[in-house]
Structure 1
């Protein structure tokens, strides 16, 4: 790479020269990691105004850089999705129209739905689709209401925003545009009343310029995104459960995707990624997947043969289908790669058919019959490849047309061979004339494809005095190159024949590729079948080769049954080096232990314990076995997670504000069919405020939302909720203290933690001794103060003033409970304020009025919180 230069008018444009290989690397990094847009300009016409864009791309549209990206990142690179969004206010919420495009699978998807104030359904849809780029109308993004909400969602999902003119969302020509891309029959499936979805589709077609490539006309399929078919996952849950590898994570191998991805094909790896982001809700669909996984778990030989014999050498069928559709990119090598696998289909199908299993009919329906049908579809393809390709040349990695495929080509091939023999004879004559051994006179073709002779510089003297027969062309370090009166006309005739041969072969290659392209739909179907087999075999492999074997979960419909996981383990943690995982039971019973408050020392395993519940539920709903000795799982419509307390300073969001945003999203969208996971809520503010919020939120989840919930906390006082709120129970992680030393036992037991281990954990973290000692002294002083107060209150014959204090203490609990309800109501009212449409001064006034109203209730617990410094 050269140094930075400045070019253009007034040297305003910084520029740098890069090599072709560096260019490819930079383009990939800009598009996939930095998420920039890239334009490639060229001086096509020459002169000052000759520059024009020849290629352009964006994070969601890699169409013109596809080869570079896949060649650099590998075939497992996830196909990016670009989504167009249109939102319109609909009374209490929003009506969202959405359209997306998957260029690899040739899918145009549409969806229109109602959403709440926080657009949680839109966020779940963006996560589910693996969205890299969103297109929205300029006027919407400039609106203080719609624009602000959309930007928050896009930022949270790490999605690049592209703004387009409102006219691009016009639906004037949408019918004919979709007819050309989908075909008239597919267009009948569109609900023309979904105006927002159609306007988004119109913008998507214009933005991606889909109509300009006639080879794509009629090739797209229509797909309706059904939000009620898959589990709802927002970005916070995906990150909290470590479902996907994160670039910023120190250990990328800790993700659920990495753990489960033992796929042997690129198409399988990409399908697994979609399954993880789209857990199923239909019990029958989940059971079907589990039946097939169980078949591969039980049949070790079948599983191993699938992975080691049949799947290992499968090409990227989805990309091959795409190349066949775009005939200009397909090659004879692509045709040969497909041919090699197609020949394996019969034996692969037979291996599946011979499997002895009680699920034989299901195997036949899902795998054997589709492969049998495809096997028949490709018979003609096999004959075409065998007739048209030069199979002998392929052994030397030369992909060309078989000369016997065309009489003209065969005639020219024979002519070339005849001339080649004459040229070889001329070489021998030249060696004889020069008095050199035949092996010393080499025959080569120069850059103009003309045959020439070459001898070493040491033998140059033999040419002297023989200028009549030989002509020296050039002398270089590697030798002397020359020709002869006999070689020159032969070489020219050979070049003419070779050029004619190449011209005819090029024409034949185009015709063969054109015929092969008609098999693109069959290749797509084959890709879908093989990808699903690969994922199911991969899930069976992981289940069978885990440190302790996984089990098949027992499922119950959403809203029914309980979550009971016996000897459950975190699947990612248990496979880490030097880890001996301690399994724990998890029981969330709707009637008695719906919400569990987990206390215990830091580093004791609380976070791992609550995370593994979410991971196991998700694994079950994608059709995987789970890391337990037994598992009963009630299907969850959504998983909500608030884990960790980290600032998002680049976006101006503090630790506490991030907690409140995440928690507000949970409270507004969770239902009794959700699973809620909360870890250490209330950090980042004062102890009193944090405890008050944690209490109010936990009580609301238990009494109003009534969803199964694991609530890990450092507020030990929160354990008093047991017995005061419905179906709340306490759990604690155990630790052993001996001789002043703390040993984590990582076991979860019933009841609340009976002591604090903060100072012991500080010792484990190698705090300075004098700091630890001072902390111990202060803790002892506070404990003595507390004991003294208790002793005085319990003394026999205490004075009337002391008894009044005891009576007052009995009433404090009631104030506490009533205060928690007031705080929760304040939070609900606060979240309902239309901040987007209120001026800052008016917003402050409304909040102050709400605060004064809450204070006017005279609740002592609330008053104590309001007196705390901000």
Structure 2
């Protein structure tokens, strides 16, 4: 017999309650009535959802109750993934018995379970979802019997959609949605659909329900070999743009070319065959992840040509008259790359969707046509917009793909110049037209799948209707011929191609209802539609008359203080402002729907009945027009390829207009750079500014000059105080070089340069704790990549190299790297550093020049001037910067004392030649102290760490090798000297002791070892 304790005392612990089978219907009804009478908070405390008066109880064969509703079973049984299992006698005991993460998964995969009207997450996924959605783990409930509990979280549909968008588009995680295919007696949880950053197909309806810029491109990598080198085969698929691409190229052991390709393409996901410990694929995984791309392992068997011919023949859109045999195309001769492409086709399941058939182009990626950027350069030059800032896919692509083709660069510059000069056209484009154009690519994709609505077709129609205004805006007398050819003529062609589409929409959609958010077919298409439309019009007339009666009843003015409105969610309703809200108080004739800052929305019974009738007729109308809508969509689908072309032209116009707008509206207008493809390498920038910093409020940017000339000024060592502007200066030069080869104008007074083939950077002090890489190791890895990839045509930016390790090791490494880049590579390089010893490199290498950012000290106060001047700076002014940061006075004083003490030991007078002094500096001068009677070393000699040698495999200069040998030999000489001094302890005669000490000192001074001579020089200072 079931006894119900008072819920206020028992708190209704639904997890642990045990009930016997109630056979009597009356008893069952009492049981249900009890639970339905409970407040919703009781259910929430126990991790359940109450559905109001609809709640009831369903009975399993085992005789135990489960909460349910008429339309679905609210079954909280914990899913057993991939297998069937008989339900436990209690819903919640089963829920707590089995762990939700039964199948092993990576932390970047989140599993959610579809339970009808809501979703659940369990275990670690529940905790993660709670933090992301609710910003607290307090909403997570422990479900199950004692000792078998598991964390669980319920997500409503709105929270689920927001969470999934964040996972796929921001976090770059994978998502798996499970559904129970079993019966009430058995659970059978299987994957209903899944997605990843590169495979959004099954989430399109969710993700594209909002205006969001997406790119779901995927690459796959397979490594092969020719007779000598590694051959990297890459397949690339962009579903949104309907592109299949392949390429092959040789690469080194560190896959430098692959990293450049990943940065250029910007994929969301990379597929790799199962590594099985292969060092090559382990390295590839690290390279790809360093660029922020999700790596997904796949079976090796997928990286083959099995079934490829058939799949390509289905997917490729062959040109008219072309042989419909994909394997006859030259791209398929890249055997390693097409194997990678086949893996992507299988991963995306492209052939399972008939809408993909004959829609894709197949081409070879010409990755060498773009400037190589490494991931560090992308970050250092601020090419990735911060969170919350949106940019079109075209903007992303152009900024990450600077050009090496001079003709295309000049073409873009011509259009930017024309748009800058035409203020009226530029303002109309930016303020009126371009911002109102939706994501045509997303609409075209939905149209291809025939998942569009009449509202989507109307949005496309609005774009087509705007084309004549765009043409009129651009096609003005005296306009640039280049702009006419590249933009205006294609727009005119598209306007002609889409004319029939425009006519079809105008003749089918009832434009009178569009302003009310209703997208219905015109009633004159069908007699039944006309009859329904007449009924709807009659109801609308009655509603308008009702407005006058209600206004009279409430003593309000219809259309002013009392308004009649409608929307898709509520239908028709009245609205008054908050000021007039008092007329509804205690008035039982009117029911309030909701209250917000715009006023109070309400109805009376008459409007409620009329609204119900109107919505009923509207639903019938929509049902009746389905066949007509399907026919319209079928015709519109024939315009998909034209829409893709329209998207390309408008994207090009959008980016070039933004270039012109930024250049014209900057605090000081940008200038057109003169870019050359031949002649002696050079770069001359006058008045260069940082494009981001100069637009900040309250900033008066100090411009500087930069000049590089082949064999004369290729390597710039920048020294100066902290906060003096060294980093800003070198980044500014990098940004100018990138913008110039993108085709934009640049933030300079004058700019002239030859093309560069790569922009490489080592800037910042980031670590990567997840991958077990310290700040210094990250420095070494990125610098190693620069030394491998840089050529004499590259631009290299290095900031504060070597500061992550000891002073002398850092200085030695910085010197070796700088000398190698200056002597061997001869790339244009900006090298900002606090190692002032590097300034002497200019004495040995003619192409090295010293520059410094200036500062002024007046009355013991540091003033930063931000001017870059010739020569070196011998101070970093770190203590002055500490004063600016409001350090305690005692700390400042101690710092000054220690600085003086250390500089006493550093600034010794070495009597060797300049060449010998430089060699000693390369390994770091050693500090020594004299303790009465004994000479002791205070600092251990420089040691070259083996692990750094492994990750920095550059050619070590011979001078550095010799210096290390000198240190090792000098250590041995000093050890022998100290041992001999120790043996003098048995001499009791002062005279004899002095004679023996003098002999030993003479022997030591006679040594030709550089290390020993440096130590002796420091003692005499």
- TM-score normalised according to structure 2 size: 0.69
Query: Is it true that 1:585 corresponds to 2:705 in the alignment?
Result: yes
Structure 1's 825 and 727: CA in aligned 2 closer, same or farther, altered over 3 A?
Answer: farther
Distance in 2 between residues matched to 1:136 and 1:341, nearest whole Å:
41
1:61 paired residue number: 199
CA-CA distance at 1:665 after TM superposition: 0.5
Give yes or no for the alignment of 1:539 onto 2:659. Answer: yes
User: Are residue 276 (structure 1) and residue 415 (structure 2) matched?
Assistant: no
Taking only aligned residues, the RMSD between alpha carbons, in angstroms, comes to 3.9
User: Aligned equivalents of 2:589 and 2:859: distance in 1?
Assistant: 91
Q: How does 1:317-716 map to 2 (within 5 A)?
A: 317-327=440-450, 329-357=451-479, 359=480, 361-406=481-526, 409-410=529-530, 416=535, 502-557=622-677, 560-716=680-836
Aligned match of 2:1017: none
Alpha-carbon deviation of 1:645? 2.4
Deviations 1:132-182 (A, max 9, x none): 2111111xx222412321221132122222111122122122122111111
The CA deviation at 1:818 is: 9.2
Paired with 1:478 and 1:201, the residues of 2 have a C-alpha distance of 63
Superposition deviation, residue 338 in structure 1: 1.6
Q: CA deviation at 1:708?
A: 0.2
The question of 1:12 aligning with 2:99 is answered yes
- The 10-residue stretch of structure 1 (203-212 or 218-227) with the greater mean CA deviation from structure 2: 218-227
The alpha-carbon deviation at position 184 of structure 1 amounts to 4.0
Measured at CA, do residues 406 and 478 of structure 1 come closer, stay the same or move farther in structure 2, by a change above 3 Å?
closer
User: How much does 1:501 deviate?
Assistant: 5.1
**CA separation of 1:717/1:64 partners in 2, compared to 1, >3 Å: closer, same or farther?**
same
CA shift at 1:691, angstroms? 1.1
**Is the CA contact (8 Å cut-off) linking 1:818 and 1:859 kept in structure 2?**
no
Matched, 1:30 2:117: no
Q: Note if contact 1:647-1:654 (Cα within 8 Å) is conserved in structure 2.
A: yes
Q: Give distance in 2, aligned partners of 1:34 and 1:786.
A: 50
Task: After TM superposition, give the deviation of residue 458 of structure 1 in Å.
Answer: 8.0
Give the alignment partner of residue 164 of structure 1, picking from 261, 281, 298: 298
Instruction: Provide Cα deviations, 1:742-800, integer angstroms capped at 9, x if missing partner.
Output: 1110000001114442322222222222232233234344556677x54xxxxxxxxxx
User: How many angstroms does 1:556 deviate by?
Assistant: 1.3
* Equivalent-residue separation in structure 1 for 2:684 and 2:205 (angstroms): 48
Q: Find the aligned partners of 1:593 and 1:576 in 2 and give their Cα distance.
A: 32
Counterpart for residue 860 of structure 1: 966
Match of 1:315 in 2: 438
The question of 1:99 aligning with 2:235 is answered yes
Partners of 1:6 and 1:12 within 8 A in 2: no
> Shift of residue 389 of structure 1?
1.3
Residues 2/79 of structure 1: CA separation in 2 closer, same or farther (3 Å cut)? farther
Cα 1:693–1:827 change in 2 (3 A) is farther
Sort the Cα spacing of 1:61 and 1:786 in 2 relative to 1 into closer, same or farther, 3 A: closer
Q: Give 1:482 shift.
A: 12
1:83 aligns with 2:219: yes
Map 1:228-307 onto structure 2 (within 5 A): 228-246=368-386, 269-307=392-430
Conserved 8 A contact 2:721-2:876 = yes
Q: Which has the higher contact order (CA 8 A, sep 6+)?
A: 1
In structure 2, the CA distance between the partners of 1:607 and 1:404, relative to structure 1 (3 Å rule), is: same
- Residue in 2 that maps onto 1:206: 346
- Aligned CA distance change for structure 1 residues 194 and 514 (closer, same or farther; 3 Å): same
Distance (whole Å) between structure 1 residues aligned to residue 806 and residue 690 of structure 2: 33
Which runs of 5 or more residues in structure 1 are unaligned? 253-257, 428-438, 450-455, 461-476, 791-804, 835-846
Q: Per the alignment, in what secondary structure is the counterpart of residue 641 of structure 2?
A: helix
Q: TM-score, normalised by structure 1?
A: 0.80
**2:887 counterpart of 1:764:** no
Partner of 1:219: 359
Deviation at 1:833, TM superposition (A): 7.8
| Residues 89-128 of structure 1, C-alpha deviations (whole Å, 9 max, x = no match) | 4566421111122121111222111111111111122222
In 1, are the aligned partners of 2:800 and 2:833 still within 8 Å (CA)?
yes
CA distance in 1, matches of 2:947, 2:193: 51
- C-alpha distance after superposition, 1:363-400 (max 9, x if no partner): 22111111111111111111111211112222322111
Separation in structure 2 between the aligned mates of residue 780 and residue 137 of structure 1, nearest angstrom: 59
- Counterpart of 2:916 (choices 807, 812, 815) is 812
Once the two structures are TM-superposed, the CA of residue 231 in structure 1 deviates from its matched residue by: 1.0
Distance 1:283 1:50, change over 3 A: same
Deviates more, 1:854-863 or 1:552-561: 854-863
**How far apart, CA to CA, are the structure 1 residues paired with 2:963 and 2:708?**
36
The alpha carbon displacement at 1:620 in A equals: 1.0
CA distance change for structure 1 residues 710 and 826 in 2, over 3 Å: closer, same or farther? Answer: farther
Pick which of 579-588 and 337-346 moved more.
337-346
Q: Are the structure 2 counterparts of residues 595 and 649 from structure 1 closer, same or farther at C-alpha, using a change threshold of 3 Å? A: same
Flag the structure with higher helix content: 1
Note closer, same or farther for the CA distance 1:3–1:313 as it changes in structure 2 (3 Å cut): farther
Look up the SS of the partner of 1:627 in the other structure. Answer: coil
Alignment partner, residue 253 of structure 2:
117
Distance of 1:559 and 1:645 partners within structure 2: 37
1:370/1:813 Cα in 2 relative to 1: closer, same or farther (>3 Å)? same
User: How far apart, CA to CA, are the structure 1 residues paired with 2:519 and 2:741?
Assistant: 46
**Residues 274 and 763 of structure 1: is their aligned pair in 2 closer, same or farther, counting only changes over 3 Å?**
same
- Following superposition, the deviation at residue 724 of structure 1 comes to 0.3
What is the aligned length? 765
CA pair 556-157 structure 1, distance change in 2 beyond 3 A? same
1:736 paired to 2:856: yes
Query: Relative to 1, partners in 2 of residues 1:735 and 1:505: Cα closer, same or farther, differing over 3 Å?
Result: same
Equivalence for 2:332:
192
CA distance in 1, matches of 2:333, 2:498: 41
Distance 2:830 2:915 in 1: 30
Quickly say closer, same or farther: Cα 1:862–1:323, change in 2 above 3 A: farther
Q: 2:510, 2:522 within 8 Å by CA — same for their partners in 1?
A: yes
DSSP-derived class of the 1:131 partner: coil
Tell whether the 8 Å contact from 1:555 to 1:632 is kept in structure 2 after alignment. yes
**Distance change (3 Å), C-alpha of 1:407 and 1:142:** same
Residue 590 to residue 57, structure 1, CA distance change in 2 (3 Å) = same
Looking at structure 2, the residues matched to 320 and 273 of structure 1 have their Cα atoms a distance apart, in angstroms, of 20
2:272 maps to what in 1? Answer: 136
Determine the C-alpha separation between the residues in 1 that align with 2:957 and 2:744: 50
Distance 2:540 2:686 in 1: 79
Cross-structure match for 1:779? 899
234-243 vs 38-47, which deviates more? 38-47
- Aligned mates of 1:322, 1:332 — CA distance in 2: 15
